[in-house]
A and B are shown apart, each in its own frame.
Chain A
Amino acid sequence: MNIDIEDILADLDRDTTAVDQTLTSQGQNDTTVFGSDAPGSDKAGGTAVSPVRDFEALMTHWRNERLGPELLPYPHALMARMLRRVQEQLEHIECISMGYLETLGEEDDHGTSDGGSSSNVLNKLPLLCMEADLERLKFVLRSYVRCRLAKVDKYSLYLRQLAQDNERVVPLSDLLSRQELEYHERHSAILLKLLNSTILRHMPPELQAVDDNEGSVKMVEEPEWDRFVFVYVRGPTSPRDPDPALEVGPDGQCFYNVMIQELREEVELTVGSIYVMRYNVVRELILEGKVELI
């Protein structure tokens, strides 16, 4: 006599969580000081976009960029949101600390000394947390951008080749941010000038190219597509909608099927597990966010 009422319970749950969500979102407003949030971003924060989720996405991008061999596409919208929040939070902290000074001054004027010191302690902690959190976020952003610049340096000839190639799916402006594009252009111009003026002008004309792939050794360095990386199989981004690439095995576990070309071998990437895999095998899954590098 077991009646399965789980879907009814889930229905009820959804109703209550809908109420809860408003509660928690109100709570978030109070605790914005602890998150990487800024007061102004609440307007932009819809259901899909929230500061916490953005920070998680940024961490994933950061890890993938640090560990992957190629230069990944630049998350334009995410970075724009993040940079705006940093700015707003910075101003927010400034405002609070100014107000803090004012109240402190008033208390000094006509408050008792112990009352002043206790509110002093009370007021300082959130400010401290906000500053530390901002520093943390800024560190990640800086490290991310630095890592990308290092890759732009390394693959500058390859990127230039990509830019000339018209049949590409992703244009270079999607791959790089505006600042990175400018860095790329000017840095390669400077490098070329140095090479030209020191060595290349003494060479015979047919040996003066710096991107010659016809010679015995290729001069344009491509990313190491077949480098081994550690991957964590995260599964589909939202559990609701079914993923066509996802398959269910005989023992009920979900996995992605990937093909290793050179060995002609199929591998099942079970959701929630860790593998060492060649990068070109899992590249598509990484770009779709179903798998992340660790």
Chain B
Amino acid sequence: MTLFERVFNGNDAVYGLTEQAIDAAIAQHGEEKAVSFPNTAYCLPCYYAVTGVKVTNLKELKEALGVVKTLMTREPRLNDAFMSGVATALCAEFIEALKYIDGAAPYEEPLYGHLADAVIRELGVPLVTGDIPGVAVILGSAPTVEEGVALVKSYQAQGILVTLVGGICDQVAEAGMATGANVRVIPLGKDVTAVIHVVSVALRAALIFGNVTPGDAKTLMEYTMQRVPAFVNAFAPLDDVIVACGAGAIALGFPVITNETENIARVPKSLIVQEDVSKFNATSLEARDIKIKITNIDIPVAFASAFEGEIIRRG
């Protein structure tokens, strides 16, 4: 199967789930039921950033799904794969939004789920100044806990903001690693759709700091490509849904580095197969053109700006 066909399949699958979820929610709550994420001024931030339309209730969400469907063209061209990737991301946002209906709290510590505007404003300045040189999105389960934790720590030591989705959340917890926005390691959630919460960070950054007009999708994607130094590390096995999400990431300018070797097509600077997980860090930084000057201070503990917010507990 070609790469584009995998993207289209993944997109179709997620679209189907989203449609069911919305219909079920309408059946349960009625069309007028409010839909929103907590602590944001941007409604469903990704959909708002891409289309300029604010979704407030289930009726509007259903309409929005119709708009998303128009992005799902099926010509064998990269534009179609990109737009299907974006459509997949928007569907993921809808699915995640439904989890928050009625003020529900679907995520429990240490998982974050949706990130509040305040967190983005706080991280935004160091992101612009380069104090946070990059944003890593780690997806899936590392081959071993040790490899996963080593990878997360390698980014953390470079001051890179690390977001985790899927099995890697459990892997860092199992290793007893301290996580949280204060130490720049943010476990988002275990469902693949939780990846939208970091996409939401990038898109809100474009609206907040880049002054991009909501709905100006072209400028939005140029901004994220040029200004948001994010990249994705996706662990094997990759299913079609993850491949479709990856297309969305690449559309925004974020390269995907994976150790998957089966049924995957390589794309220079965009979709890179690195079989050796211990080289994910170097491969990713080079792919995203992130250059970090490190002065190694020979001390017995880790040292990085990521640890500035660390809380030392008694005992």
| Chains A and B come from one and the same complex | no
